[in-house]
C-alpha cells in the first residue's frame, strides 16, 4: 500500500482530499476483487483529477456498501437480534428524513437496508412537523406500508390538508396513539382556506372507527377557530371504544358543548386538561357532558367548569379516582373548602392530590381538616402537591398533618413560582423557618418521606435535610 501511495502525484497540499479518497478506493478494491488492482496516477491537472474523482464516486459508494455488508458483524446476527438493536436506536419521536432513524438505516449498506425493511416495528411510529414538501404524502404512504400490521403511533404538528388525513384514515384499524398539535402559526385570520383546513383538522381523520386507539392528545393554540373541532373531537371519542388516555393541552375554548347530552366512555382511565394560553377560557367545559365510570386520573384547570360541575361529574360517574389535579384560575370565584371537601369525599380512593394556586383560606381549612380527621378525609392520601406558598402560621399545621400521616403519606411538595420567591425572600420566615420546625421536618425526611419546598426547576429551595 505504501508503494501505491508513493505513486500518486498531488499538485499541492490543498488536494489532500483527493489522495484520501483515491487511497480508500484502492483499499476497497483490494478487499473486494480477486486480483489486486492498483490505480497509478501520473501527474494530472486538477481538472483531470476531478473528472477521475467523479467517475469513481459511483463505484466507491457501491463498494462501500458491499464491504460493509461483508465485514459488518450485525449482518451475521439473526434477524431477531439485529432488529432489536435497530429498535433500540429509535428516538421517542421518529421523524422522516434521510438523516433520521429509521430512514438513515437505508443509506448504510445492503444488509442494513434489508434489516430495516424486515422490521415493521421500526416504521410503527412517525412524528411529522408541517409544512412539508408537496410530495410528502407519498413518503407517508410508504412509511406506513412498511409498518405492515403493527400498531401505529402518529404525531402531527402544524397544519395539514385532507390528503394527509385521508392517508391516516386508511390505517384507522391499526392506530394506537394519535397526537395532533396545531400551533396556528400558518393560519391567517380571515383566510377562507385556513378556516376550511381547521374545520377538517379532525373531521377528515374521523372517517372510520378506531378500535385500537388507546391514547389521544389534542394540543391547540390561541386560534379560536379550533372551537369548531368540538364536534370532531366528540366523534373521535365515540369511535374509540378502547381509548384509555385523553389529553387536551393548550386548546382554545371549546364552544358548543351540548348541555343535555351525556356521553359515557367506560374505557377512559386518564383525562387531562391543560391550561389555555389565553385568559378567555379553556377546553375543560367538555367535562360537563361526560360520564367516566372507570376514570383513575383527572387534571382539571377549573376554568369553564365550576366546583358544582365537578361535583356533579363525580356523582354521576362514581369513578375509582386515584389522582386529582385542580387549578383555581378564578380570583373572583375561588375554590372553597366546602366544595373541595365534597369532591374528595366522593372519591375515597384518591391517593394523589395536586392544587394549583389555592387561596390561603382553602389551604388553612384543608390542612386543619387533614390534621384533625386523618381517617375521614382522604384516608388513602400518599402524595400532596401545592403550587403556591404558605403564610408563617400554616407551617405548624402542616407539620401536624405530615406527622399524623407519616405511615401513609410518602410525598409532600410546595412548588413556588420564581416571581413569588423573590417576594418571599423578604419575609423573615423564609431564610429561617425556625430551628424546631426544621428539625421536625428533617426527622420526617430521615424516616423516608419526600419533602420539597422550592421552585419547580429546583434552583431555589428550602432544604429540610
Three-state helix/strand/coil letters over the chain: CHHHHHCCCCCCHHHHHHHHHHHHHHHHHHHHCCCCCCCCCCCCCHHHHHHHHHHHHHHHHHHHHHHHHHHCHHHHCCHHHHHHHHHHCCCCCCCCCCCCCCHHHHHCCHHHHHHHHCCHHHHCEEEEECCCCCCHHHHHHHHHHHCCCCCEEEEEECCCCHHHHHHHHCCCCCEEEEEEECCCCCCCCCCHHHHHHHHHHHHCCCCCCCCCCCEEEEECCCCHHHHHHHHHHHHHHHCCCCCCEEEEECCCCCCCCCCCCCEECCCCCEEEECCCCCCCCCHHHHHHHEECCCCCEEEECCCCCCHHHHHHHHHHHCCCCCEEEECCCCCCCCCCHHHHHHHHHHCCCCCEEEEECCCHHHHHHHHHHHHHCCCCCCCCCCEEEEECCCCCCHHHHHHHHHHHCCCCCCEEEEECCHHHHHHHCCCCCCCCCCHHHHHHHHHHHHCCCEEEEECCCCCCEECCC
Q: Is the pLDDT of residue 301 over 50?
A: yes
- Domain positions in the chain are 2-71, 124-321, 328-465
Q: What is the pLDDT of residues 359-371, one digit of tens each?
A: 888 888 898 899 8
- Whether 393 and 361 have beta carbons less than 8 Å apart is answered as no
**Does pLDDT of 53 surpass 60?**
yes
Q: Does domain 124-321 have CATH number 3.80.10?
A: yes
Other CB atoms within 10 Å distance of the CB of residue 321: 23
Question: What is the C-alpha separation between 311 and 319, in angstroms, rounded?
Answer: 12
What is the residue-averaged pLDDT of the chain? 76
Q: What is the mean pLDDT of residues 129-134?
A: 83
Q: Which three cell numbers stand for residue 219?
A: 394540543
**Strand 270-273, strand 383-387: pairing:** unpaired
Q: How confident is the model at residue 344 (pLDDT cuts 50, 70, 90)?
A: very high
Radius of gyration of the chain (CA): 31
pLDDT greater at residue 335 or residue 3: 335
Place of cell 402542616: 398
How large a percentage of the chain has pLDDT more than 90? 30
Checking if the pLDDT of 160 tops 80, the result is: no
Residue 223, pLDDT score: 52
Q: At a CB cut-off of 8 Å and minimum separation 6, what does 411 contact?
A: 382, 383, 384, 385, 449, 450
pTM of the prediction? 0.76
Residue 307: per-residue pLDDT: 87
Q: What is the pLDDT of residue 31?
A: 41
Better-scored residue on pLDDT, 297 or 38: 297
51 or 452: which leads in pLDDT = 452
Write out pLDDT tens, residues 4-51: 333 333 334 344 443 344 334 334 443 444 433 435 455 666 677 667
pLDDT in tens, 191-250: 333 333 334 445 456 556 889 999 998 877 655 445 545 677 777 788 899 999 998 877
Least confident residue range of 2-6, 223-227, 266-270, 458-462:
2-6
Amino acid at each position: 500500500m505504501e508503494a501505491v501511495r508513493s505513486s500518486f502525484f498531488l499538485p499541492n497540499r490543498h488536494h489532500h482530499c483527493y489522495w484520501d479518497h483515491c487511497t480508500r478506493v484502492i483499499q476497497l478494491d483490494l478487499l473486494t476483487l480477486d486480483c489486486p488492482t492498483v490505480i497509478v496516477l501520473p501527474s494530472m491537472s486538477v481538472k483531470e483529477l476531478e473528472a477521475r474523482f467523479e467517475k469513481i464516486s459511483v463505484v466507491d459508494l457501491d463498494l462501500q456498501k458491499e464491504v460493509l455488508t461483508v465485514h459488518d458483524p450485525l449482518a451475521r446476527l439473526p434477524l431477531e437480534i439485529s432488529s432489536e438493536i435497530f429498535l433500540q436506536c429509535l428516538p421517542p419521536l421518529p421523524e422522516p428524513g434521510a438523516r433520521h432513524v429509521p430512514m438513515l438505516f437505508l443509506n448504510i449498506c445492503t444488509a442494513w437496508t434489508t434489516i430495516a425493511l424486515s422490521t415493521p416495528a421500526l416504521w410503527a411510529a412517525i412524528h411529522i412537523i408541517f409544512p412539508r414538501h408537496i410530495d410528502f404524502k407519498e413518503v407517508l404512504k410508504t412509511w406506513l406500508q412498511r409498518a405492515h400490521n403493527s400498531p401505529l403511533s402518529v404525531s402531527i404538528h402544524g397544519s395539514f390538508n385532507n390528503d394527509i388525513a385521508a392517508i391516516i384514515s386508511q390505517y384507522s384499524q391499526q392506530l394506537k396513539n394519535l397526537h395532533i398539535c396545531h400551533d396556528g402559526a400558518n393560519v391567517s385570520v380571515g383566510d377562507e382556506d385556513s378556516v376550511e383546513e381547521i374545520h377538517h383538522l379532525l373531521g377528515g381523520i374521523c372517517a372510520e372507527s378506531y378500535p385500537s386507539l388507546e391514547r389521544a392528545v389534542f394540543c391547540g393554540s390561541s386560534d379560536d377557530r379550533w372551537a369548531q373541532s368540538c364536534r370532531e373531537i366528540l366523534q373521535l371519542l365515540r369511535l374509540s371504544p378502547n381509548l384509555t388516555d385523553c389529553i387536551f393541552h393548550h386548546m382554545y375554548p371549546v364552544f358548543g358543548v351540548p348541555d343535555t347530552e351525556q356521553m359515557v366512555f367506560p374505557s377512559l382511565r386518564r383525562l387531562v386538561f391543560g391550561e389555555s394560553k389565553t385568559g378567555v377560557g379553556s377546553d375543560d367545559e367538555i367535562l360537563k357532558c361526560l360520564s367516566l365510570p372507570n376514570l383513575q386520573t383527572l387534571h382539571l384547570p377549573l376554568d369553564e367548569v365550576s366546583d358544582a360541575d365537578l361535583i356533579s361529574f363525580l356523582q354521576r360517574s362514581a369513578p375509582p379516582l386515584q389522582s386529582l389535579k385542580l387549578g383555581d384560575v378564578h380570583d373572583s370565584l375561588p375554590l372553597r373548602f366546602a366544595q373541595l371537601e365534597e369532591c374528595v369525599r366522593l372519591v375515597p380512593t384518591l391517593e394523589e392530590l395536586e392544587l394549583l394556586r389555592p387561596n390561603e383560606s382553602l389551604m388553612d381549612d384543608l390542612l386543619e381538616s387533614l390534621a384533625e380527621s386523618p381517617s375521614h378525609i382522604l384516608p388513602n392520601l400518599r402524595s400532596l402537591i401545592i403550587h403556591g406558598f404558605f403564610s408563617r402560621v400554616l407551617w405548624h399545621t402542616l407539620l401536624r398533618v405530615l406527622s399524623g400521616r407519616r405511615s401513609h403519606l410518602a410525598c409532600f411538595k410546595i412548588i413556588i413560582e420564581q416571581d413569588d420567591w423573590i417576594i418571599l425572600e423578604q419575609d423573615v420566615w423564609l431564610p429561617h423557618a425556625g430551628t424546631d420546625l426544621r428539625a421536625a421536618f428533617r426527622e420526617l425526611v430521615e424516616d423516608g418521606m419526600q419533602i420539597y419546598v422550592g421552585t419547580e426547576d429546583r434552583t431555589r429551595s428550602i432544604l429540610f435535610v
